[in-house]
A and B are shown apart, each in its own frame.
Chain A
Amino acid sequence: MRFVLRRAGFFLLTLWSAMTLNFVIPRLMPGDPAEAIFARYKGRVSPTVVKALEAQFGIHNNKNIVLQYFDYLANTLRGRFGISTYYFPNPVSKEIATALPWTVMLVGITTLLAFLLGTLIGTVSAWRRGGALDSILPPVFVVTSAIPYFWVAMVFVLVFAVSLSWFPTAFGYTPGITIEPSMHFFLNAIDHAILPAVTILITSIGGWILTMRNNMITTLAEDYVRMGRAKGLTSRRVMFDYAARNAILPNLTGFAMSMGFVISGAILVEYVFSYPGIGFMLLQAVSGEDFPLMQALFLLITVAVLVAVLLADIVTALLDPRTRQNA
């Protein structure tokens, strides 16, 4: 019980910090950049909206800063994020709802695949210590982890989309075709998703392989693994049921966290492919100076991560009694 309370407290505190950051950042910046930006809105959006925005961001606002803060908290908790200025006059929440499925599908499935494949490769590579897999993979993935993933995306566009024309260069589907639950649209979307998915897969799998390998190495030195071997179990059984089963525990929590980071997605990969997801939308909001949309997206991303962390905490506590005692 104490464990749950503690985690819930952490959840609320972090949520509050993220909301406060959203409130503080535009007000802290020197030279009032927000004011300059809002001056440019005039004529583009209606005067009442400009007024509302100015209130939201604390410009020409004679209200006490503390009162502004509580207004902001109340509005945010009720899900009132305001009107998007980039996609004027649509409310922010509506715009986010159109982008969310794209990211969840693309990054969600790819993250799951990367985790499963990476964990398997890491397990086998640690089991055959000094084997071909074990001596080649770690250094290779140490180097690939240093490659900026947006650049990998650019090179893929160059090679597979521009030079070879195997795949489309950008977007989530061919512009102009109707979005409908048909086979035609589905295949079209898959075709557009392959390159970004492969980019995310190969840039994220290395981390899973390395951590799983290192966990396995620590676990393989345990007595119960030796015991399993001494009992004459097949090495498959020892590898998966004795060693990997324990070694995966720390990775599982990492996996849950990365599922939370799915929403923030591979921002730059979406950017390079102009993929219609959350990450691309965040960057469009930045370049279009759409602050309400930007703030709502940042909050959404944070909440997603927090929920994932909370879930992972609970799952780990269920799976591994040791964590319950320490908490």
Chain B
Amino acid sequence: MSIVTSQVDAGTAAAGLTTRRRGLGFIRILLSNGKATVGAVLLLIFCFVAAFPGVFTDDDPRADAYDRSMGLSSHHLLGTTAYGQDLWAQVIYGTRQSLVIAAVAGALATAISVIVGVAAGYLAGVADNVLSLLIDVFLVIPTFPLIIVIAAYKKSSLTVLIAVLVLTGWSYGARQMRVQTMSLRNRDFLQAARARGERRLYVIVVEVLPTMTSLIVAQFLGAALYSVLAAAGLQFIGLGDPNALSWGTILYFAENNEALQTNQYAWAVAPGVCIALLGAAFALLNYAFDEVSNPALRPVRRRGRRGVAGS
């Protein structure tokens, strides 16, 4: 196939056979894989902070109630911004938007990639050709510049931001879904289902999708990671909603107030660390799921137990 695909193919070709047996044993995966455990714990902490920010701080993140640019102290764990806001409160309350963007944009992008990818792989023929072309076009168009161009016309809304991230983030996953579906198409259990006279939609939803659960989860994690980073980048250059509280916007104000040049380290460092930690949570989980669906990549010591055909 085309160049765009070959790189992805190499990854998934080996992944090839995701076992049905493993199915929904996510908890088991989380506990048995060190990287996955760290990622899951990080993610849970961020979810908790996003849901109950009031537990962690009594300050109003928007109130510019304090002295400006104060250093770190017990009252202001991370000091205050040049506007006199409590930075710790800002970081805590900013968690919610970053997490919402990651979850919603990640989920929608995954949904589109599953629909388009599975349809292309399962239907084959003309439909596959058309859909593959669509996927390839979206893969090649440079996403970040496109996001910037779109956001330049219509900035400052969460919906637009998420829509743009979904539009630019679905194609890579769709490619993988297509390859995976194609490798399943002629397997016995699908032929059996067709022989039973099941409808196409039934075969896809009940027979095909469950075998790809771990790939879909990996897809979601990858899309969420992409959304976290791309959203932070957009907010950083001022193309997000400057009134909404998020880590990217905190960085935007830090940069615009020359926080780096004026020794306000915490202002520039803290939100970045949070973005990195949230991103790392998704990346670690993603890597762990990659190891699960591609046994060859697992650490060597476990190779002896490899029961599933992985090559």
Binds B, one of A176-184, A233-241, A298-306: A298-306
- Known contacts A130-B301, A298-B142, A302-B142, then 4 further A-B pairs from the complex at CB < 8 Å, ordered by chain A residue: A14-B141, A154-B272, A217-B297, A272-B255
User: Does B239 make an interface contact (CB < 8 A)?
Assistant: yes
CB within 8 Å of A: which of B135-178? 136-137, 140-142, 144-146, 148-154
B236 contact set on A, CB distance < 8 A: 148, 150, 268
- CB distance A13 to B133 under 8 Å? yes
Q: Which residues of A contact B201 (CB under 8 A)?
A: none
A294 within 8 A of B: yes
Determine the chain A residues whose CB is within 8 A of the CB of B260 once the complex forms: 154, 157-158, 162
The verdict on B73 contacting chain A, using a C-beta distance below 8 Å, is: no
The reply to whether the CB of A91 lies closer than 8 angstroms to some CB of chain B is: no
CB of B6 within 8 A of chain A?
Answer: yes
Cα–Cα, bound, A10→B14 (Å): 27
Q: Is the CB of A14 within 8 A of B140?
A: yes
Bound CA–CA A26/B149 (angstroms): 9
Measured in the bound complex, the distance between the Cα atoms of B311 and A58 in whole Å is 56
Q: In the assembled complex, which residues on chain A have CB atoms less than 8 Å from the CB atom of B229?
A: 146, 148
User: Is chain B's interface secondary structure helix, strand, loop, or mixed overall?
Assistant: helix
Interface string of B53-90 (1 = CB under 8 A from A): 00000000000000000000000000000000000000
Contact across chains for B153 and A25 when beta carbons are under 8 A apart: yes
Determine whether the beta carbon of B153 is less than 8 Å from that of A146: no
Chain B residues with CB under 8 A of A302: 140-142, 145
Stretch of B116-124, B183-191, B211-219, B277-285 on the interface side:
B277-285
Given A10-B2, A283-B148, A316-B3, decide whether A146 and B301 contact each other with a Cβ distance below 8 A.
Answer: no
User: When the two chains form their complex, are residues B233 and A158 in contact, meaning their CB atoms are under 8 A apart?
Assistant: no
A148 and B10 in contact, given A26-B153, A139-B35, A267-B148 (Cβ under 8 angstroms): no
A254 and B7: CB pair below 8 A?
yes
Give the residue name and chain of the A residue nearest to B296 (CB). Answer: A217
**What's the least CB distance linking B164 to chain A, in Å?**
11
Within the complex, what minimum Cβ distance (angstroms) separates B231 from chain A? 10
Q: Does B304 contact A (CB under 8 A)?
A: no
Q: State the Cβ distance, A154 to closest chain B Cβ, in Å.
A: 6
B268: which of A130, A158, A283, A326 is its contact (CB, 8 Å)?
A158
A142-B287, A151-B275, A295-B149 known; A218 vs B296 contact (CB < 8 Å) = yes
Which bracket fits the contact residues of B? 35 or more
Decide yes or no whether A188 CB sits under 8 A from chain B.
no
- Contact present for B7 and A264 (CB under 8 Å): no
Would you list 23 pairs from A and B whose C-beta atoms are within 8 A, ordered by A residue? A14-B137, A25-B153, A30-B154, A33-B154, A130-B299, A130-B300, A130-B301, A138-B287, A143-B280, A146-B278, A147-B280, A148-B229, A151-B251, A151-B275, A154-B251, A154-B255, A155-B268, A214-B14, A250-B6, A286-B237, A294-B149, A309-B140, A323-B1
- Interface 0/1 of A19-31, CB less than 8 Å to B: 0011001100110
Tell me the chain A residues, 238-277 only, with Cβ under 8 Å from chain B.
249-251, 253-254, 256-257, 261, 264, 267-268, 271-272
Shortest distance between the CB of A22 and any CB in chain B (Å) = 8
Residues of B within 8 A of A150 (CB): 233, 236
CA distance A162 to B268 in the complex (A): 13
Identity of the chain A residue whose Cβ is nearest the Cβ of B283 in the assembled complex: A146
Interchain CB contact under 8 A, A286 and B152: yes
Chain B residues closer than 8 Å to A18, beta-carbon distance: 141
> Using a CB-CB cutoff of 8 Å, which residues 280-327 of chain A contact chain B?
282-283, 286-287, 289, 291, 294-295, 297-298, 301-302, 305-306, 309, 312-313, 316, 323, 326-327
Residues of A within 8 A of B151 (CB): 286
A32-B244 Cα distance, complex, nearest whole Å:
23
Could you tell me the distance in whole angstroms from the C-beta of B96 to the nearest C-beta in chain A?
A: 19
A21 touching B146, Cβ below 8 Å: yes
Give Cα A291–Cα B148 distance, bound, in whole angstroms: 12
- A29-B154 in contact given A148-B232, A267-B144 (Cβ < 8 Å): yes
**Residues on B with beta carbons closer than 8 Å to the beta carbon of A63:** none
Query: Are A264's CB and B142's CB within 8 A?
Result: yes
Cα–Cα, bound, A123→B275 (Å): 31
A129 touches B300 (CB 8 A): yes
Q: Is A34 an interface residue (CB 8 A)?
A: yes
Q: Is the CB of A146 within 8 A of B276?
A: yes
Neighbour of B3 across the interface among A151, A162, A169, A312, CB < 8 A: A312
Q: Which 5 A-B pairs have the closest CB atoms?
A: A146-B279, A151-B272, A250-B10, A130-B300, A146-B280
Determine how close the nearest CB of chain A comes to the CB of B296; give it in whole angstroms: 6
Nearest CB to that of A251 among chain B residues? Answer: B7
Q: Give every chain A residue within 8 A of B228 (Cβ-Cβ).
A: 146
Instruction: Enumerate chain A residues within 8 angstroms of B142, measured Cβ to Cβ.
Output: 261, 264, 298, 301-302, 305
In Å, the complex CA distance between A157 and B154 comes to: 31
